[in-house]
A = this chain, B = another copy of it.
Amino acid sequence: MTKQTDDAGQGQIRQSNERVILAAAEAMFARAGFSGTTMAAIAQASELPKANLHYYFGSKEAIYRAVLARILNDWLAPADAIHSEADPRTAIEQYIRAKMALSKQRPDASKVFANELLHGAPLVKELLATELRKLVKAKVAVLQAWMDQGRMAQVDATHLFFTIWAATQTYADFDVQVSAVLGHNNLSAKAHARSTEHVVSLILRGCGLSQ
């Protein structure tokens, strides 16, 4: 009762509160960026007093770091679809669909990450140059092997990743622009399905994997 050295007791409350704070922070950072987001705004969205954010995380930057860390994990996962035993067409199609699903399900996460990149990636630059670079190198080798075997068209595999990232994330990051041009107020599930089919078919044909 008096002892609470392990994470069992109030650790539950801490864990729950941290989760609430990070979710609120992600939404606020997506909407206004790092400088445009105030601790008061995160506190209000979390329905917690401002001082508690400092109690749990210490500083605004620490909250931002925590939000980014949570995002990065999820961001790299879809690349699993691309492995040497897979069929080229299926692998790339799965990868694109997974990225499009992320755009639909976690638009705020995408925006926070985009914002970080846009402003020079001060916090994740190192990770990009190490982990992401390593991951892309490995996947590029897989794609290159498929090209050498004549199983898909010759494209620059590294740049193909840049194009897939850009084409899929634009539906999360720049949704206002997409909605405005389409004449909608926001992107419906139907509109998103249409976007997905477009990106899949354009890229697959671009890779010589259909027609």
Contacts and interface: CB of A to CB of B under 8 A. Distances in A.
Contact of A211 (B120, B173, B208): B208
A112 to B, nearest CB: 10
A76 interface: no
Interface residues on A, range: 35 or more
B31 A120 contact: yes
B170 A166 contact: yes
A83 interface: no
Chain A contact residues: helix, strand, loop or mixed: helix
Contacts of A32: 35, 119
Given A34-B36, A203-B206, 8 more contacts: A36-B36, A117-B174, A117-B177, A132-B181, A158-B181, A158-B182, A166-B167, A202-B207
Interface of A: 31-36, 111, 114-115, 117-121, 125, 128-129, 132-133, 136, 153, 155-156, 158-163, 165-167, 169-171, 173-174, 176-178, 180-183, 194-195, 197-199, 201-203, 205-208, 211
Contact of A198 (B111, B163, B205): B163
Contacts of A177: 117, 121, 128, 132, 162
A35 B153 CA distance: 45
